[in-house]
Structure 1
Amino acid sequence: MSAKGVSLGTEAAQQVLAGGSAGLVEICMMHPLDVVKTRFQIQRGKSDPSSYKSLGDCFKTIYRNERLFGFYKGILPPILAETPKRAVKFFTFEQYKKLLAPLALPPGLVFAAAGLGSGLTEAVVVNPFEVVKVSLQANRSVQRHSTFTQAQHIITSEGFGLRGLNKGLTSTLGRHGVFNMVYFGFYFNVKGFIPEIKDPTLEFFRKFAIGLASGTLASVVNIPFDVAKSRIQGPQPVPGEIKYRTCWKTMGTVYTEEGFLALYKGLVPKIMRLGPGGAVMLLVYEYAYAWLQKHWRL
């Protein structure tokens, strides 16, 4: 039984539904910005003839060449992944907190460590979906490939391993581990310091502001891992030759060839997505989970 007298199965089911709802809402609202972020991250500097000049140019070019559908390329893999991904994210965060409780660590450290653990666990679940999503988003042609066709092609040509459907796993572990460590650590620590407001509307905006800051800060800290992941999982500069293999080596290559700022490519669309998107996800989860705890008992 959980601490509230609710069975672990009921608690897990409530978190699956609440987390899945949070993920679905966030994906549908913010996915176009994820496409733009990925396009920036896979281009290789000004020497790339297909590079975008600015954020506005990227939006205009995608719409002109690929129409509205272009902004939703690769959306099915994250939608399919959201329920297990968010279930893992929130459920394991709570479980890691329980495991760390006997150690009598400072609360701030507990939140950060539990976030790190939940992120690493989440990364293992989500990485195959990320490989398919990035390969779909990198396609600039108007020719449409289904998610299942793309996944089948990756499995047939490269297999399930670290060169195929689990390509870029190390960078995904870094991306999710670091993001969740900052995201959960900042949100729950700051929320505890700022007094709760009795007015429901003002309380909603208090939580939204803290969630926005959490998503923004986490995005800034973890984006080098995100860039490495996109390079490893995206198309290689020379077809048939693998240039980007491992997380740290890819970061080093990007830094050496393109400079320090190249490790922060796609930061603006990432913040535009995961700043408000992170706030939306936390709020939908908290309110949905509270409603389920009140109305659903097994």
Structure 2
Amino acid sequence: SLYDPKVGFFGESGLVEICLMHPLDVVKTRFQIQRGKTDPTSYKSLGDCFRTIFQREGLLGFYKGIFPPILAETPKRAVKFFTFEQYKKLLGYASLPPGLAFAVAGLGSGLTEAVVVNPFEVVKVSLQANRSAFTEQPSSFVQARQIIKTDGLGLQGLNKGLTATLGRHGVFNMVYFGFYFNVKNILPVSKDPNLEFLRKFGIGLVSGTIASIINIPFDVAKSRIQGPQPVPGEIKYRTCFKTMATTSILVHMGGAVMLLVYEYVYAWLQETFNHKESL
């Protein structure tokens, strides 16, 4: 069969992560695209951003642009994990050290994933940048149609910021998968299931945190390119790491859970399907 139930599961389970983390993603994007301190509409702090969005745009303001990532979730997860496994198998023929193979396979999966998700990211960021009330903004389909009509499907339109997205997903997955599987193989396995779960969760959490911190410049560049264009020189490089470090880490904390889900459920499904095939 062409349908792999394992791939479908990871796509569907990612919807929970989106619903929980999207408000933080909106706040993160707002900070990334806002102008300098001289702009009276700039958010002063994380708390100010949450308060302002709630007061001016309502609770639904935190869910602006949620439909594109929901729509992209199944293909995104499918590409991320499926291509990681395939690249890992291919690299096995190259006689690379296992540690390096994990990182390179992660890089490959991230680059492939970026090509799939970039059009959805362009629509998402343009909707998140809109500060009008949720009921007043266009739908995702109307926004996508407007982008295509105005700028086309190329690198100035629906695929704007592709290079930054390639860097964002490539670097994140390289560090994320590389760190997780290398450290997991080094640290001793616990016989206690609860401690083993905590071991893997801790490694996943640290992996996501390190990957998100290293990834911030690419993430900021992507949002700045895909969102309202800044005035040259108004934002300093250090701004990339101010406040956005916190939100980026929080947004990617779901990744620790997702990687655990991937490991445990993948192992369970493999055992289940192998058992059925042997009958």
**Whole-Å separation in 1 of the counterparts to 2:138 and 2:195:** 45
Could you list the per-position Cα deviations for residues 105-139 of structure 1 after superposition, in whole angstroms to 9, with x for gaps in the alignment? 11111111000000000000000000000001001
Could you list the per-position Cα deviations for residues 195-231 of structure 1 after superposition, in whole angstroms to 9, with x for gaps in the alignment? 2222222222211111110111001111101111101
Contact 1:35 1:71 in 2 (8 A): yes
Contact 1:123 1:173 in 2 (8 A): yes
Partner of 1:110: 101
Instruction: Compare 77-86 and 44-53 and name the one that shifted more.
Output: 44-53
Trace 1:147-226 onto structure 2 (pairs within 5 A).
147-226=140-219
For the pair 1:264 / 2:264, whether they are aligned, the reply is: no
Give the match's secondary structure for 2:131: coil
Match for 1:263: what amino acid? C
Partner of 1:69: 60
Trace 1:225-240 onto structure 2 (pairs within 5 A).
225-237=218-230
For the pair 1:293 / 2:270, whether they are aligned, the reply is: yes
Match for 1:272: what amino acid? L
- Report how far residue 280 of structure 1 moved: 1.3
- Report how far residue 153 of structure 1 moved: 1.1
- Report how far residue 48 of structure 1 moved: 2.1
TM score, norm. by length of structure 2 = 0.92
For the pair 1:135 / 2:126, whether they are aligned, the reply is: yes
Partner of 1:4: none
Q: 1:22 to 1:218 in 2, by over 3 A?
A: farther
Q: Which of residues 257, 261, 265 in structure 2 aligns to 1:280?
A: 257
Measured on the aligned residues, the alpha-carbon RMSD in Å equals 1.7
Structure 1, unpaired ranges of 5+: 1-8, 238-242, 244-252
- Report how far residue 100 of structure 1 moved: 0.8
Q: 1:21 to 1:206 in 2, by over 3 A?
A: farther
**Whole-Å separation in 1 of the counterparts to 2:162 and 2:75:** 17
Trace 1:53-92 onto structure 2 (pairs within 5 A).
53-92=44-83
Partner of 1:249: none
Partner of 1:6: none
Contact 1:24 1:82 in 2 (8 A): yes
Contact 2:35 2:234 in 1 (8 A): no
**Whole-Å separation in 2 of the counterparts to 1:161 and 1:15:** 33
- Report how far residue 152 of structure 1 moved: 1.1
Identity rate, percent = 71
**Whole-Å separation in 1 of the counterparts to 2:157 and 2:5:** 34
Partner of 2:36: 45
Give the match's secondary structure for 1:135: helix
